[in-house]
Each structure stands twice: as C-alpha cells, then as structure tokens.
Amino acid sequence: MASQPEQRSKVARRALLGTALCAGLVATLLTTGPARADHRDDAWTVSAPAAHEPTAHIRLDDTTGTVSLSVTRRGRTVIEPSPVGIVTEQADLSEGLRFLHRKDRLVDERYRAKSGKRLDRRVRMNETRLSFATPTGARLDLVVRASADGVAYRYVLPGGYGAVLGETSAFNLPPDASAWLGAYRVDNEGQFAQYTAATAPTGEYSDQALFETDGGYTLLAESDLTGDYSGARLAHDQGTGTYRIELADDRVQADGPLATPWRAMVTGDLATVTRSTFTDDLAPASKVPDGSWIKPGTVLWTWLAGGREAGQSLAAQKAYVDYAAERNWPYEAVDAGWYFKAGEWDTTDPDWQTNSWMPELVDYARAKGVGIIVWIHQRELDTPEERAQWLPTLERWGVKGVKIDFMDSEAQPMLRWYDAVLAETAAHHLMVDFHGSTLPKGIQRTWPHVMTLEGVAGEEKRTNTAAHLTTLPFTRNVIGSMDFTPGAFQRVGLRPNSDAAEVGLTVAYESGLQMFAGTPESYDRRPLARAYFDQVPAAWDDTRLLTGRPGREAVLARRGGDRWFLGGVYAGAARTAEVPLTVGPGRWLVETVEDGADGLVRNRRVLRGGDTFAVEVVANGGFAGIACRWRPGVTTCHR
C-alpha cells in the first residue's frame, strides 16, 4: 500500500497532468527568474564555518530532475542521500527541476536567552540558497544551512501555488544505525525505545529521533514552526532505513509566499548534540522587546502533591505558598481546580472575576516573595473573546504565568492559535508553560516568555522506564526546556528510579520553570534533597555532558555562576559509576547526594579538574552534586 505522502504526490501529479498552470501565472514566474541558468551545475556542498564539521551535499539528478541531500561529518556518513521536495496544488516541486542559480551568505549572530542550556548564544552558519524551476516555470528555493552542530534545510516558494499537499522530504539512514525513537502521539508524550534504523516497527514516530552512524550522532528536529505550516512527524516502514516527513494536515493553506519550517539535523559527537542550541539558533529573533519581566525559577507544583482538591482550596494553596516562601522557592503553581465549582466552570458566573479567591492568594503570596502560576485549559483561551477576558484579568491580579494544557495537535489551525496566544500572553506579561503541547522547535528564542513545555512522557506517567529517563537528555531535552516535573518522591512504585536519581533529574533535565512535583512532607523526610532543591537554579550559564549513552546513563553538568551542578541518571543494575569532572582546571570541592542503605547520604571530595570520581549507584539509580572552587577553609558548596 502506498504511503500517505506518496498518495498525495500521485494525486498532485495527476492534477498537474490534467490542468496546466494559467498563462498569467506562468508569465509571472518566468519573468521573476534570472536571465541565465547554469545547466552544468548539478552538485553543491555547504559546510560549517569550522573545519571538519558537518557538510551538506546536494545533488540534482539530470535525468529525473529530483534533488537529494546527504550529510557527512569528518568525511563519514551522517545522513545518506535523501529526497527533498514539496508538492502543492499548482506545482509538483519534487521532480523535473532545473538549476537556476546559487547565493551564499554567512549567518553571524549573537543573542541572549532567558532559559535553556546557556544564556549567551553565538550563531555562525554558512547558508546557501539554491534556486530551481520546473519546465512550466514554477520556482523552488532550497535554503541550506550548516553549523558546527548541525545541518538544516527549508523550502521557500513564491505565492500563487495554492495549498501544500505534502513533502517528499525523507531521511535515509544506514539500516544498522542505532536509533532511539519515541512513538508519535498528538501530545508528544511517547516513550523512547532503542532499535536500529531498519528494525523499528512500521509506524509513526516523533520527529525528535536520534541516530548513531559512523559520522557520530544525529538528532532529527524541526525549527521555526508557525501557523503558516503544519507540524511534522516521521513515517517509517520496517526493514528500511528511510524516515519520511508526514504533515499533520492533508492540505496546508498558503495564502502567499511560503517559507517552510527548517528540517534540522543536530549533528556531532554525543557531547555536541547534548549541548546544542541549533534549533533555537535557526529560529527568528525575539519578538518580545522588553523581557525584563521574564524570570526563570523553581516552582512548588501542587498537582501531584494534592490534586484537584488542593486546587479548589484557598487554605491549601496558602499553605503551599508558606512552604515555598520558607524554602525561598520563587514560584508556586496552582493546577486544575481553582476555577471549578461544584463540577462547573466558575466562569459561567458573570461575577466570576470578583468571586474568585485567586486575587487573595496572589496578594498573600506576593507579600511572602512568591509568584503564582495558574493552570488553565486551552478551551478557555481558544477564541479572541475568551483571551480578552482571561489574560488581562490574570495580569491585573498579578499572576506571573500560565500553564496552558490540552492543545493535543500540531495541525495548522492549532498552530495559528499558538501564534495568537504567544503574542497576547507576552503583551500581558505572562510567562507560559505549555502542556499537552507541541515541542519547542525554536519557540523559546522567538518568544522567550515560553519558559518550558511538556511534550514528554514525564513524572505523571506510570509506565516510564529508567531507559526512557536516560534517553531524554539526548532527545527531547536537546531541543528546548522540558517540563518533566521531577521530585515526586511520594510516588514510590510509580516511578522507575531511586531517590538520588530523582534529585539528579532537576539538573539532568533543563526547564526554565523547574516544577518540583513532591509533597512538602516528602521533602521534609529527605532534608538532603530539600537542601539541594533550595540551591538549584533554573537558568544556566553553560551545560556540559560529562558522560553518557542513551538508554544507559546520562551525567550532565550545568553552571550557575561560579558553581557547577551535577545530575546523573542510570538504567540497569547497580554499579560503581565513574564520572569525569571535566568542568575546568584547578581544585574543586564536589558534594554529592547519593542513595545510601537507609536513605540519601552526602559525600564530599576534593578533586582536580579532569579527575574521575566514583559514585555507588543502586539499580536504576543516580546522584546529584555541586562542584565549587576549593580553597583552604571551604567545607561546603551550599550557600
């Protein structure tokens, strides 16, 4: 049976055979082309500015007029020759192409993020724009970028081609390439599992797929996805190494000129991929002119701690605020229930804004130095009228952010909703946490008030595996902040890891709003974990992978000021883990929180940068740590 993209392509081609482009459109297209095309050119390369880094190889088949793209790194295979092309109502831009001209430029930018793996960013990419035309004059520009940590391409079309019916884009991997894939779900909460490229079962997978070839690791991703287009997933047939791009919509409306999202390949050794900000770097610059009100931080999250009953109780929420204030945690999040009343929405009451107890809670929390974040269902914000009711009200009350839930779609209409709500929440100075959502895809550079997104099988799930937890730093969390909500110590038996591993997740997983999911009682019973949470930042100056292998182990170091925070998670049997302290030269005091026979224990050691230290890891365990500069008299890294 033909795949859905193949069927769309066949439909489009039959339409083209039966109906020629109108004469006016052809004339317009032909007059916009260059005076001369170099028909001798049929192969091009685009290399990163740094030597020996990824190189894209683009080739035009003179017989079929099809274009393919492959990627190498240090002369070794990353992506095998793979088809590129797009089909619209009025033009099949996947075959019959002839080369027109090439244009090159250097992309050299600096920007500062509000959250993520590091705040100060430097972008250096070589860009090549290759222009092609069909025999009828239809135009396609293929824009390719290469950076030290990745290769990406996008299609640029003039207006007048009608709806997009699909792409012929695909990624061809060596069949024996190791693959870590998450089954596709509309909420992007699929579990990651390991296969080879060919043995993965037939089906659909998230576009955040990680592969290992002889050229290193490659994470497939997407960037600059807006309501102008449709979200992508990967379609795969078992027995091949081919992963096809399939769109969420059968028809993507295009009302004028179109630039599709970037098809990105984050590429390098595992440390490079883990540290990469490539998908952010590809995205447009910030649309928030003054971001002084955007402040990342740790959050006491009350859903797994108290559920809807806590959300319906002002007294319970005040108690949570008291606990956050005692710990100097900057935020408390009120989840579902706060605008429910007797099973009905409080907003059905015309006086709901007056009757709500939320303003009282916000004022109470403000006096204690705690900001309030509130959960809200997407259906409460799905029209301009509803947003005009809710968002100014929340801003007037003094709410700091909104956790918007249950979008559960990457179809074009929902992406257009994202475009609207992003602009409007920014205008009302509300930070955003998206749940049941799309993946980051560069959104945090363009809209830096988006502090985190779910799009992950997180702490709420009862079927997570330790292998899944150790894969996330190399897949989902590479492309942006991830609201996994660690710290749910009370869920013994419902999570696959140890207490020390649960502490380590707060560093191993990056999130601009790091939501602690435990109960105050569970923290009080684990004072070492509680003290660590008091210290851990939510914004980082740098990130490094110390050691790791997807599905087995992940140890990350993240710098906040002059201290490095360490988070390690492991899958499998108990072991003595060896961790290299590659955080800089000199002498370091390293304090770790580990699993002991009767609970969490703290160990201290003085090491030199580059030394390796041992951690006793229980089955499916882990650890957390802090490294600070040692000098005589320094006995702790805690402040």
Which secondary structure element, helix H or strand E, spans residue 527, and what is its range?
Answer: helix 527-535
Asked if residue 278 lies in contact with residue 125, where contact means CB atoms within 8 angstroms, the answer is no
**Cβ 143 vs Cβ 154: under 8 Å:** yes
* Helix axes 314-327 and 527-535, enclosed angle (nearest 10): 80
Contact 83, 168 (CB under 8 A): yes
Spell out the residues 6+ positions from residue 607 whose beta carbon is closer than 8 angstroms to its own.
581, 587, 588, 590, 613
d(C-alpha 257, C-alpha 240), whole Å? 35
Identify residue 108 by its one-letter amino acid code.
Answer: D
DSSP-derived secondary structure for 25-92: HHHHHHHHS-S---TT--EEEEE-SSTTS-EEEEEE-TTT--EEEEEEETTEEEEEEEEE-EEESS-E
CB neighbours of residue 52 within 10 Å: 11
Q: What is the 3-state secondary structure (H, E, C) of 43-60?
A: EEEEECCCCCCCEEEEEE
Catalytic annotation, residues: 405, 460
> Which secondary-structure segment (H or E) carries 223?
strand 216-223
For residue 367, is it left (φ>0), alpha (ψ between -120 and 50) or beta? Answer: alpha
Give the β-pairing of 331-334 and 297-301: parallel
Q: How far is CA 53 from the centre of its chain?
A: 23
User: CA-based angle 242:244:248, to the nearest 5?
Assistant: 155
Q: Do residues 179 and 193 lie in contact, with contact meaning Cβ atoms separated by under 8 Å?
A: no
Q: How far apart are CA 474 and CA 273, in angstroms?
A: 7
